[in-house]
Copies of this chain bind each other. A is one copy, B any other.
Amino acid sequence: MTNEFQVHQPSPILIVVSGPSGVGKDTVVQRMKERGLPFHFVVTATTREKRPNETNGKDYWFVSKDEFARMIEENELIEYAVVYGDYKGIPKSEVRDALASGKDVVMRIDVQGAETVRKLVPEALLIFITCDSEEELERRLRERKTESSDSLSLRIATARKELQRIGAFDYVIVNRDFHLDDTVNKVRSIIEAEHLRVQHRKVNL
């Protein structure tokens, strides 16, 4: 064996799954987990209320605002943002431990946070999830029972702004209704292809 033949990406890739609220990025990552794909899924810390179907430490780390403030103070977060009045952030330790395990690491982050990660980790792989049309996005946001009518119009306005940030991402996937597995397969193809790139995305965190 010579070195010329050791050509595959040897180190794990840091994958950010992002997109406007309502495009289904949570569902995409959820389905990736259900299918047992060999990734490490980072758990985000948030100060928002737990929804009935969510589990602490699995869907999110639900923490108090005081605890979140401490994490910010002690520089424990890779990124954090205020989203609709709630704080969300990725603990650095989660990402470092995950990369050390050798598995590819998947993070679900809002658009604002994805751009922060890009600055900190230029080698990160940024995937933008979107949907077929603006009407479709509005319909999905409307169907979410968890939002008040105020926060709906706010989310629609934010989503419109976020759609203009596609250029900052590497890949974009249209997550069509009833085609969730297609979307997940596309994420897989992207990650498989990235491991075959001649220019590696070796993460230095």
Using a CB–CB cutoff of 8 Å, the interface residues on chain A facing chain B are 1-2, 4-5, 7-8, 128, 130-134, 163-164, 166-167, 169-174, 186, 188-190, 192-194, 196-198
Contact = CB atoms under 8 A, between A and B. Distances in A.
Interface on chain A toward B: helix, strand, loop, or mixed SS? Answer: mixed
Contact of A5 (B167, B174, B188, B198): B174
A71 to B, nearest CB: 32
Give the interface centre of A128, A186, A198 by most chain B CB atoms within 10 Å: A198
A134 B2 contact: yes
Contacts of A190: 192-193, 196
Contacts of A170: 197-198
7 contacts: A4-B166, A5-B174, A8-B172, A171-B197, A171-B198, A186-B193, A193-B194
Given A171-B193, A192-B189, A193-B171, A198 B4 contact: no
Given A186-B192, A189-B189, A192-B186, A133 B1 contact: yes
B8 A174 contact: yes
